[in-house]
């Protein structure tokens, strides 16, 4: 039977005999029992399943499904030839792998990726001009008192917000009809990349930064050979989430991912923490740039300088979007402990902190601000905004007069805290192993974190070489997030993605607009968040549209993944195995056969059904 | 269960696949088999912690103005002043669309309401407010799902009995009763009909329980919604829904008017975490919020007597302003209840005051009404589910505040 199947394969499948062999082993031993073990939306897995090892090529299939955005045609064979251990080692050291030239080719026209925030703001942020006009008007009205100035600014802000809202509303209205959206996209997709980008920049200049960033993320996810690194960039950006649609973050997010996140994804956690804490994008997003000690000396000095000085100070503040009121802002301090490091919000637990701890951390961070955020300004420590008093954080005393160093001591305390080691390990294991990973594994990872002073590469290595990672409990235990779903579909079909924006608009329907998670929690990787009626329908529609080449900008050559056989008993299993990387469930095969009996389905439809099947929603 | 599936399968022979079912057929089937829900509850969560002290302003409290020199809403009178309600409280001027409803006793306000849990974490507080079990993270289902009475195994329940608006199913609607998420009615279909039957069969038969549960609910609902989706919708009485929350409430209004068996619905609205630039942001947020509620009320007209809308936010914000014209995380907040049976035109609950000694931890408005008292009363008196301790496990002594008639 196997020979018969293989002999009918007509696509450009490099090592055609290997794939079915690889995956048949996997499905034979697993499949039914595992599915049955999961009994509810919590995806609870029998703990014993984490002690039953995966065997043979299953391990390889599992590693590629879990540590990449899904195998592309030829990936399993290439990895097998290399050997699993070596493949893992290379993925952990991406500098050892030559990058796919397709990445550079697609990133090249996206010039804002290489710009400083200031350059980007100057070139692509027209509302800035409005602000500048507002400032010019302000200069003319020097005699007006500060109260009136504030009102003016409020109105400007309001108008800006309303204009923004109207724009969003307009876009939202279009979401109702994905086909119309696709028609607009089709016009853009038909253009050469540089012309397309120029057209887009002419129409919506202030969205170019988000456009470049989103395109780049999808191109890298689909084409990069550094798959685990791209997974880690996504993981850490999401862990230290910022929202590109919040004010100045429109111009600050590109540099944030490039300079604060990407260089540290396999580095030391303490460095990553420092880089995010100092990044203008995070300082703006969680409001720390405005946090200042009450009655700061600057104000008093300004008052002493007399009326003219005060006026100048007021104008400077206006330029920075600041107000006369002074005081701490707790936003960053709280999320730093709850979401970035300790991960708990119960003072009675180990690593728990109190409201007073939050206030003291906020005080330590006063003065960590941005020079002219809307012009894409840099991080600056402003001593005059800083609270110079003594602070006690989690029982540790930080002596008075430490200046910028106060907050660095806080970061030291947090990065070294055992609760942080545990929380970061848990979050990694939730993403890469299972929604509810075994505590023994998490503890082993946390131990590695503590031993290596938070060396992320070592922690990840501990995870991906663990018996739990290569266990039945982890096998297909994760439901793909929308990003994972669309990218794995593009990779599995070997799609040529020349214009990724239509994919990113589908991600909005699927519930994961890229770079636009407004809450600091980032997106969940838990099944319960992603499996529901609206999302499943959107997934099915995406699958059918992709393979039928109805998604503008992406082309699927069905010959690569399908067979020229008309007979469903040949066509379906071949297509399914190639797309899934493992055997489909008998139920999926039977369902498709039943529904399409007496019909002559196209290979495109068959492939779309496999991508929309329950089987393809897991990895 | 069996009966229900049979019904749906037979009623939808034509609705999928070959072509649309004749409208009269779907309507007739609906009228015969889908009992019109008598009472409907719509829950709205304002994510990010609304500043209740800007929404329903205690302008009669002098500490209010001392605590908030830069962002207090002015006393009544003038464009920017509050809209007086009772000589002590006033509505934010952006909430003007709700004032007529308050005057007509259609809108009730519950001030200083909130969770007894002290957390100021958005994540935890929203979780507790959606699960209905403050302080207990292990609860896997939500109070809105539990508010539905368990259907008899043989009974026909509508697949759109419980609806969450948005691309994911809200935490509060997860649980043993079927519930679906709808981002928008137009998109609620498999557009390429040649694949629809295969998908339905796959998700029906898969042994993957996570997928089969959601898949089963989905395809039943797709069929029921098909006819609604195909009819263009014009809100009644000249109601004009704003974007954001307004669009969500409009989907709910369509489902209610179509009489397809909706019992509980959930919508949310984000952006309330106003640590900075609060006055301008509250103006925008409250405009959307109030406009959406008012449009929903207008659109439903008489039907509103069967509908109760209740709003909540995970916690309130600090009584005192912070250093960036904003407020930080606080404790108590304000809730609204609108519609059928509500004793409106009144501010319910005890007002704890804003004097330093009366503030919770000397910084936040204190909670005097547990949010479960409000929700419990609505569920008991409006939905008729009096098993309050099943809906809110561990809450032995709910105190109803006389928020609803009955």
pLDDT reading at B27 higher than 50: no
SS3 label, residue B307: strand
Q: Which residues contact B142 (CB under 8 A, 6 or more apart)?
A: B130, B131, B132, B170, B171, B172, B173, B174, B175
Contacts of A365 in chain B (CB under 8 A): none
A354 lies within 8 A of chain B by CB:
no
* pLDDT, greater one: A22 or B392: B392
- Among B183, B202, B276, the residue with its CB nearest the CB of A290 is B276
pLDDT reading at A172 higher than 60: no
Cβ atoms of B211 and A37 closer than 8 Å? no
Partner-chain contact B194 A511, CB within 8 Å: no
Query: What number of C-beta contacts closer than 8 Å exist between A and B?
Result: 241
SS3 label, residue A41: coil
B347 beta partners: B109
pLDDT reading at A36 higher than 70: no
Per-residue pLDDT, A428 = 98
Q: How confident is the model at residue A327 (pLDDT cuts 50, 70, 90)?
A: very high
Cβ atoms of A422 and A442 closer than 8 Å? yes
Per-residue pLDDT, A346 = 64
Which tokens belong to A48? 């014993």
pLDDT reading at B218 higher than 70: yes
Per-residue pLDDT, B223 = 92
Q: From the CA atom positions of chain A, what is the Rg in Å? A: 27
Report A:563-602 residues touching B (Cβ under 8 A): 585, 587-588, 590-592, 594-596, 601
d(CA A253, CA A281): 6
Cβ atoms of B120 and A335 closer than 8 Å? no
Which tokens belong to B103? 């005057």
The CA-atom distances, in angstroms, between A451 and each of A416, A440, A462 are 10, 16, 12
Cβ atoms of B111 and B349 closer than 8 Å? yes
A509 lies within 8 A of chain B by CB:
yes
What's the whole-number mean pLDDT along residues A39-47?
A: 61
Contacts of A327 in chain B (CB under 8 A): 321-324
Q: How confident is the model at residue B151 (pLDDT cuts 50, 70, 90)?
A: low
Which one, of A453, A277, A436, A423, lies nearest residue A352 by Cα? A423
The CA-atom distances, in angstroms, between A354 and each of A293, A393, B118, B266 are 20, 9, 11, 33
Q: What percent of chain A shows pLDDT beyond 90?
A: 67
- pLDDT tens profile A83-119: 999 999 999 999 999 999 999 999 999 999 999 999 9
What residue ranges in B122-217 does DSSP mark as E strands?
162-165, 180-182
B386 lies within 8 A of chain A by CB:
no
B204 lies within 8 A of chain A by CB:
yes
pLDDT reading at A268 higher than 90: yes
pLDDT reading at B9 higher than 70: no
For the residues of B86-106, what is the DSSP string, one character each? SSS-EE-GGGGGGHHHHHTT-
Which tokens belong to B283? 């103006």
Q: Of A232-246, A420-434, A515-529, B141-155, which range is least confident?
A: B141-155
Cβ atoms of B311 and B336 closer than 8 Å? yes
Per-residue pLDDT, A13 = 36
pLDDT reading at A462 higher than 60: yes
* pLDDT, greater one: A22 or A282: A282
Contacts of A588 in chain B (CB under 8 A): 202, 206
Q: How confident is the model at residue A210 (pLDDT cuts 50, 70, 90)?
A: very high
| Residue A354 burial (CB count, 10 A) | 10
| Number of separate helices (H) and strands (E) present in chain B | 13, 12
- Average pLDDT in chain A: 84
Which one, of B268, B270, B272, lies nearest residue B329 by Cα? B272
Q: How confident is the model at residue B372 (pLDDT cuts 50, 70, 90)?
A: very high
B237 lies within 8 A of chain A by CB:
no
B305 lies within 8 A of chain A by CB:
no
A546 lies within 8 A of chain B by CB:
no
pLDDT reading at A381 higher than 90: yes
Per-residue pLDDT, A126 = 58
- Among B187, B204, B221, the residue with its CB nearest the CB of A176 is B187
Per-residue pLDDT, A218 = 98
Which one, of A231, A616, A270, lies nearest residue A415 by Cα? A270
Per-residue pLDDT, A124 = 87
A614 lies within 8 A of chain B by CB:
yes
B197 lies within 8 A of chain A by CB:
yes
Report B:10-69 residues touching A (Cβ under 8 A): 47-48, 69
A334 lies within 8 A of chain B by CB:
yes
- Among B122, B203, B222, the residue with its CB nearest the CB of A519 is B122
pLDDT reading at B206 higher than 80: yes
d(CA A183, CA B350): 56
Task: Kindly provide the ipTM of the predicted complex, given to two decimals.
Answer: 0.85
- Among B202, B217, B247, the residue with its CB nearest the CB of A591 is B202
Partner-chain contact B323 A328, CB within 8 Å: yes
What's the whole-number mean pLDDT along residues A210-222?
A: 97
> Which residue in chain B has the smallest CA separation from A245?
B271
Q: Looking at mean pLDDT, say which of A5-9, A370-374, B236-240 comes out highest.
A: B236-240
* pLDDT, greater one: B19 or A403: A403
Per-residue pLDDT, A374 = 77
Cβ atoms of B180 and A533 closer than 8 Å? yes
A488 lies within 8 A of chain B by CB:
no
pLDDT reading at B2 higher than 70: no
Q: Of A238-242, B150-154, B236-240, which range is least confident?
A: B150-154
pTM for this structure? 0.85
* pLDDT, greater one: A309 or B345: B345
What's the whole-number mean pLDDT along residues B61-77?
A: 96
Per-residue pLDDT, A8 = 35
């Amino acid at each position: 039977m196997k020979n018969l199947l293989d002999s009918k394969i007509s696509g450009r499948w490099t090592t055609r005999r290997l794939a079915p062999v690889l995956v048949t082993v996997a499905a034979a031993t697993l499949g039914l029992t595992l599915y049955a073990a999961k009994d509810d939306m919590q995806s609870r897995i029998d703990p014993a399943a984490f002690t039953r090892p995966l065997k043979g090529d299953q391990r390889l299939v599992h590693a590629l499904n879990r540590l990449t955005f899904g195998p592309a045609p030829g990936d399993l064979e290439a990895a097998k030839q290399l050997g699993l251990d070596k493949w893992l080692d290379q993925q952990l050291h991406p500098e050892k792998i030559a990058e796919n030239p397709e990445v550079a080719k697609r990133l090249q026209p996206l010039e804002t990726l290489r710009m400083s925030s200031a350059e980007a703001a100057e070139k692509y942020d027209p509302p800035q001009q409005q602000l500048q006009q507002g400032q010019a008007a302000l200069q003319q009205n020097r005699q007006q008192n500060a109260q009136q100035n504030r009102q003016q600014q409020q109105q400007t802000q309001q108008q800006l917000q309303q204009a923004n809202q109207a724009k969003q509303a307009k876009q939202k209205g279009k979401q109702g009809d994905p086909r119309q959206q696709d028609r607009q996209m089709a016009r853009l997709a038909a253009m050469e990349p540089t012309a397309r980008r120029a057209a887009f920049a002419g129409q919506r200049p202030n969205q170019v930064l988000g456009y470049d960033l989103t395109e780049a993320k999808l191109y890298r996810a689909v084409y990069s050979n550094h798959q685990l690194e791209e997974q880690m960039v996504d993981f850490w950006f999401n862990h230290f989430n910022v929202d590109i649609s919040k004010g100045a973050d429109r111009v600050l997010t590109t540099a944030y991912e490039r300079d604060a996140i990407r260089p540290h994804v396999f580095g030391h956690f303490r460095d990553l923490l420092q880089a995010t804490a100092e990044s203008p994008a995070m300082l703006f997003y969680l409001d720390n740039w405005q946090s200042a000690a009450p009655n700061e000396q600057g104000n008093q000095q300004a008052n002493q300088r007399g009326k003219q000085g005060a006026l100048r100070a007021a104008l400077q503040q206006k330029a920075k979007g600041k107000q006369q009121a002074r005081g701490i802002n707790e936003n960053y301090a709280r999320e730093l402990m709850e979401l970035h490091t300790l991960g708990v919000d119960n003072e009675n637990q180990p690593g728990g902190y109190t409201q007073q701890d939050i206030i003291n951390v906020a005080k330590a961070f006063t003065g960590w601000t941005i020079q002219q955020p809307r012009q894409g300004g840099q991080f600056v420590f402003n001593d005059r905004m800083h609270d110079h008093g003594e602070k006690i954080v989690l029982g540790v005393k930080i002596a008075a007069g430490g200046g910028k160093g106060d907050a660095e001591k806080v970061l030291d305390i947090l990065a070294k805290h055992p609760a942080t080691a545990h929380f970061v390990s848990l979050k990694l294991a939730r993403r890469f192993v299972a929604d509810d990973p075994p505590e023994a594994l998490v503890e082993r990872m946390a131990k590695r974190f503590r031993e290596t002073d938070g060396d992320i590469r070592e922690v990840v290595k501990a995870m991906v070489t663990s018996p739990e990672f290569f266990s039945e409990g982890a096998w297909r235990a994760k439901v793909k997030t929308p990003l994972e779903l669309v990218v794995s579909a593009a990779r599995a079909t070997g799609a040529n993605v020349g214009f990724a924006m239509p994919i990113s608009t589908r991600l909005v329907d699927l519930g994961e607009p890229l770079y636009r998670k407004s809450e600091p929690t980032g997106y969940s990787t838990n099944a319960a968040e992603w499996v529901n009626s609206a999302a499943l329908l959107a997934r099915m529609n995406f699958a059918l549209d992709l393979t039928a080449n109805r998604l503008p900008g992406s082309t699927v050559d069905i010959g690569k993944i399908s067979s020229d056989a008309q007979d469903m008993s040949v066509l379906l299993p071949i297509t399914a195995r190639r797309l899934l990387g493992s055997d489909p469930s008998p139920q999926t095969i039977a369902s498709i056969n039943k529904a399409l009996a007496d019909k002559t389905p196209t290979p495109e439809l068959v492939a779309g059904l496999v991508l929309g099947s329950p089987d393809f929603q897991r990895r | 269960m069996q009966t229900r599936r049979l019904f749906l399968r037979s009623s939808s022979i034509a609705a999928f696949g070959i072509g649309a079912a004749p409208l009269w057929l779907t309507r007739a089937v609906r009228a015969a088999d889908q009992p019109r829900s008598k009472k409907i509850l719509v829950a709205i969560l304002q994510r990010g912690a609304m500043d209740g002290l800007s929404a329903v302003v205690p302008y009669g409290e002098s500490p209010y103005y001392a605590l908030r020199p830069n962002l207090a809403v002015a006393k009544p009178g003038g464009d920017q002043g509050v809209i007086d309600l009772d000589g002590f409280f006033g509505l934010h001027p952006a909430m003007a669309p709700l004032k007529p409803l308050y005057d007509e006793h259609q809108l009730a306000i519950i001030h200083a309401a909130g969770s007894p849990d002290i957390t100021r974490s958005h994540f935890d507080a929203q979780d507790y407010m959606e699960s209905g079990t403050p302080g207990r993270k292990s609860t896997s289902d939500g109070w809105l799902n539990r508010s539905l009475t368990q259907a008899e195994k043989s009974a026909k329940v509508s697949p759109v009995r419980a609806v969450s608006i948005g691309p994911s199913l809200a935490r509060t609607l997860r649980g043993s009763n079927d519930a679906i998420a709808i981002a928008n009615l137009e998109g609620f279909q498999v557009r390429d009909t040649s694949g629809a039957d295969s998908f339905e069969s796959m998700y029906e038969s898969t042994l993957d329980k996570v997928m089969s549960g959601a898949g089963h609910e989905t395809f039943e609902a797709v069929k029921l919604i098909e006819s609604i989706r195909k009819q263009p919708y014009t809100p009644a009485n000249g109601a004009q829904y704003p974007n954001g929350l307004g669009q969500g409430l409009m989907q709910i209004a369509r489902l209610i008017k179509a009489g397809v068996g909706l019992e509980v619905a959930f919508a949310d609205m984000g952006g309330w975490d106003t640590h900075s630039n609060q006055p301008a942001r509250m103006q925008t947020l409250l405009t959307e919020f109030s406009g959406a509620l008012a449009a929903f009320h207008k659109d439903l007209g008489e039907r509103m007597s069967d509908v109760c809308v209740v709003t909540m936010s995970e916690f309130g914000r600090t009584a005192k302003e912070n250093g960036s014209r904003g407020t930080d995380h606080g404790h108590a907040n304000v809730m609204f209840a609108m519609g059928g049976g509500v004793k409106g035109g009144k501010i319910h609950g005890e007002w704890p005051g804003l004097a330093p000694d009366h503030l919770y931890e000397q910084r936040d408005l204190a909670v005097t009404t547990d949010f479960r008292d409000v929700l419990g009363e609505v569920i008991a008196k409006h939905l008729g589910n009096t098993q309050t301790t099943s809906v809110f496990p561990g809450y032995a002594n709910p105190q109803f505040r006389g928020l609803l008639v009955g």
